[in-house]
């Protein structure tokens, strides 16, 4: 579905940038063709500044999304989430970033979760980048405690793991 959405804007690079930002951030496009996060409207001028495009490009993109019933169903139901990755060290939580060999291969999350559980660590959050939006997707695991070195070695031995970074 994501590729179909992006394909609809391929001929309009500035609009494609807007669509990618809205999808990456989990913003919605409401029935009034306004970009929102929950009930909070995000000014189209601010989005335009962030992307280096004209505000009218954001207006046009949001209107185009609303005109396509199937696409609008997707965009009006997106939701953003709290990601603990950047604040985890401040909270005393562990952070493991896994760079996969192939982000579309199945089983990586389950194997990583099993390895973390073997060391008695509770997983507070697991977030996987969508390979359609991120050039180098990664799996981020937030744990209840610090990450022991032995766990890092175990994670490196999992099939499909290219790199492990711990914060």
Q: What is the mean pLDDT of each run of 10 residues along the chain (167 residues)?
A: 83 95 94 96 98 98 97 94 94 97 93 96 95 87 95 96 96
50 contacts 57 by C-beta, under 8 angstroms = no
Q: According to the model, what pLDDT value does residue 3 have?
A: 79
In this structure, what is the dihedral angle of CA atoms 152, 158, 160, 161, given to the nearest 10 degrees? 0
List, in order, residues 6 or more apart from 86 with CB less than 8 Å away: none
- Which segments of the chain belong to CATH 3.30.70.260? 94-166
pLDDT at 131: 84
How many angstroms separate the Cα of 22 from the Cα of each of 1, 34, 102, 116?
15, 11, 25, 33
Question: Cα(81)–Cα(91) distance, rounded to whole angstroms?
Answer: 18
pLDDT recorded at residue 1: 67
Catalogue the E-assigned strands of 11-115. 28-29, 35-37, 40-41, 94-100
Longest CA–CA span in the chain (Å) reads 53
CATH fold of the domain at 94-166 = Alpha-Beta Plaits (3.30.70)
d(CA 78, CA 106): 24
């Amino acid at each position: 579905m994501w590729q179909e959405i992006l394909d609809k804007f391929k001929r309009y690079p500035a609009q494609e940038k807007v669509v990618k930002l809205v999808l990456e951030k989990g913003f919605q496009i409401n029935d009034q063709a306004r970009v929102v996060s929950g009930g909070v409207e995000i000014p189209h001028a601010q989005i335009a500044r962030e992307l280096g495009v004209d505000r009218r490009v954001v207006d046009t993109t949001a209107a185009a999304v609303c005109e396509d019933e199937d696409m609008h169903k997707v965009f009006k139901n997106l939701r953003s989430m709290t990601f603990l990755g950047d604040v985890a060290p401040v909270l005393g939580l562990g952070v493991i970033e896994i760079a996969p060999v192939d982000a579309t291969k199945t089983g990586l999350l389950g194997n990583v979760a099993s390895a973390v559980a073997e060391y008695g660590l509770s997983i507070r959050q697991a977030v996987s980048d969508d390979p359609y939006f991120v050039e180098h997707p990664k799996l981020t695991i937030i744990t209840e405690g610090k990450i022991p070195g032995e766990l890092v070695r175990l994670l490196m031995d999992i099939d499909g793991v290219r790199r492990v970074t711990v914060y």
